[in-house]
Structure 1
């Protein structure tokens, strides 16, 4: 009888205890690059990217995520504060690298930014100016 009472008390304690908070995870790296090869950016673009006429430029946004296994994040690309596209990613490990890209051409000049969003919260944000010097 005493064992049954102890088991019942432990079960009640387990059911009424507050849930254990899970780590939110971190964005270890976030950067713009001209290409991603073998899951790594080949360079890091600066704060200003100039329009190249006669070409479509592709800009990659790379993130190295830690301790987010099983969750989902999104890269939210914005031009002058207006959302252009939201790209979701399912995170499948404790260290997960993801990237998205945007094709830029003349006429897309302005302030570009990408927010790393998880559960509606912006974890990280980066931006660059796409400038037309003509």
Structure 2
């Protein structure tokens, strides 16, 4: 009888502790695309993009964020580890979709990374290689 009471008390304590903890912020999706239409990426362009001479290519970075209402997040674009742009977004709901884009031209080849930053902490990142194979 005492053992049952102790088990119930422990179970209730653990449950109340779990319920009292705030929901974890989450990046539900993060991907590169050629465009975003109706708040959704039209494709997933993968991790390698080839330089197209005579054209400017625009690459979009899309994120689907959960439980981050009231936060301001950044999309930080880096080329070979050097910051190229930081774009802030105010998150207005428990599910919020945001995207940013970068125009890529010949000469911008290298490894591009976009970091999702919340309060100074990188909570997600994705990378792609912008490859100039003209000499190949």
Query: TM-score category by the smaller chain?
Result: 0.7 to 0.9
Q: 2:12 maps to which residue?
A: none
Give the equivalent residue in structure 2 for 1:106.
106
Residue 48 of structure 1 is matched in structure 2 by 48
Q: Deviations 1:70-129 (Å, cap 9, x if unpaired)?
A: 111000000000000000000000000000000000000000000000001111000000
For 2:117 and 2:82, how far apart are their aligned partners in 1? 15
Q: Equivalent residue of 1:108, what SS?
A: coil
Between the two proteins, the alignment pairs up a number of residues equal to 115
- SS, match of residue 128 in structure 1: strand
TM-score (norm 2): 0.82
Q: CA RMSD in A?
A: 1.0
Give ranges in structure 2 of 5+ residues lacking alignment. 1-19
Moved over 4 A (4+): none
